[in-house]
Amino acid sequence: MVPSVSEIEELVIKRHDFLDALDDSPATKPELVDRLNTSRSTVDRAIDDLERCNFVSRPDDRYQLTMAGKAVHEQHQSYLDDLQPIQQALEVLAMLPPDVPFSFDLLEDARVRRAESHDPHQPLELAAETMSRAAQVKTLSPAVFPRCVEAIKEWANDGKTVELAVPEDVLDTMADRYRDELSSLEGPGHSLYELPTAPPYTLWIAETADEKYTGLMPNAATGVQGLIVTDNDDARQWASEQYESYLEQATPVERLEGRA
C-alpha cells in the first residue's frame, strides 16, 4: 500500500538521522548502531519503517537508500535549508505585521540584527556601516531618528547621492529639529520627497561601485527594532519596485524652510 503524503512526512521527520546516515554510504545494522550512537532495537525499528515505504533496500549485507529514499531525503533536506534563513531572521520577522508587502528574497544571504536592551543601536550601526560604502542611497521611511539624521548629513557631505522619502509629519519634524543638519539635501544631486502615507517599515537601497545592498528595518516608537540586509539581486529588484511605487504618489520637496 502506497503511504500518504502525511505518512511520508511523519516518517522522514522521525527517521531523518537514518536517511542521512545511509545517504553518506550503505551500512550494516551494527554500523548504523555505531554511526548514530543508538541501540540495536532502535536501528531494527527504523529499518523496518524505511523498508515498509521502500526507502531502503539490502542488495547485499548492507542497507542502502533506494531512489525513493534518496528523493524524500533530498526534498526534506531542501526544506530544512529553506527554513534556515527564516530561523535566523525569526525575531525580526515577528516584528512585522503579516499583511505588509514583503519578499522572502530579502532573507537570502542576509545579515540580521535585532536591537538588544544592552545594545539598542545594533541595527542602525550595521545599516550605517553598509551604506557608508555606497555612492547612492535611497531610503523610504516612516520616521527619522537622530542617528539617521547624522548619517544622512555625512553621506550628503561626502558626495553621495541621497534620496529620502518620508511622510508629512516626519518632514515637519525634520524642518523643526534638523533643518540645518539636513539642509544639504536641498542641494543638487539629492532628492527629498513627501509621502501621502507612511510606509510600514524603513526600506533602503545602497549602491557601491560593485555591490548593491537592500535593507529592511521594522520601526517602533522606541526606534529601529531590527534589520535585515542582503546583496541578493532579486531582493533589490523587489525593493526598487516598492520604492518606485511610493515615489509615484510622492511630492518633491525643494526646501524644508517654512514647514515647521
Residue with cell 521502500: 54
What's the pLDDT score for residue 221? 65
What's the pLDDT score for residue 259? 63
| 64 shares its domain with 128 | no
Given a cut of 80, is residue 209 above it in pLDDT?
A: no
Strand 202-207 and strand 136-140: the pairing is: antiparallel
The structure's pTM equals 0.82
Number of structural domains, the chain?
A: 2
Output the nine-digit C-alpha cell for 102.
514583503
Contacts of residue 28, Cβ cutoff 8 Å, sequence gap at least 6: 61, 62, 63
Domain that holds residue 220: 89-252
Instruction: Please report whether residue 258 resides in a domain.
Output: no
| 99 shares its domain with 171 | yes
What's the pLDDT score for residue 78? 95
pLDDT (tens digit, 9 = 90+) per residue, 173-202? 888 888 887 777 777 778 889 999 999 999
Considering 54-68, 165-179, 186-200, the range whose residues carry the highest mean pLDDT is 54-68
197 vs 186: CA distance, rounded Å? 22
Q: Which of 212, 52, 72, 191 is nearest to 130 (CA)?
A: 212
What's the pLDDT score for residue 94? 93
Average pLDDT over every residue of 82-92: 94
How does residue 237 score in pLDDT terms, banded at 50, 70 and 90?
very high
| 99 shares its domain with 196 | yes
Furthest C-alpha separation in the chain: 86
What's the pLDDT score for residue 124? 79
pLDDT (tens digit, 9 = 90+) per residue, 23-41? 999 999 999 999 999 999 9
Output the nine-digit C-alpha cell for 165.
522619502
| 95 shares its domain with 177 | yes
pLDDT (tens digit, 9 = 90+) per residue, 96-146? 999 999 999 999 999 999 888 787 778 878 887 888 788 889 999 998 777
| 213 shares its domain with 237 | yes
Average pLDDT over every residue of 214-232: 87
Q: Phi, psi at residue 255, to the nearest 5°?
A: -145, 145
Output the nine-digit C-alpha cell for 38.
543508538
Instruction: Please report whether residue 157 resides in a domain.
Output: yes
Contacts of residue 14, Cβ cutoff 8 Å, sequence gap at least 6: 49
Average pLDDT over every residue of 205-221: 86
Instruction: Please report whether residue 206 resides in a domain.
Output: yes
Sign of CA dihedral 87, 93, 97, 103: negative
| Residue finishing a domain among 45, 65, 83 | 83
Cβ count within 10 A of residue 223: 17
> What average pLDDT does the structure give for the chain?
90
What's the pLDDT score for residue 260? 57
Cα dihedral: 27, 28, 32, 34 (round 10): -110
| Residue finishing a domain among 35, 51, 83 | 83
| 179 shares its domain with 214 | yes
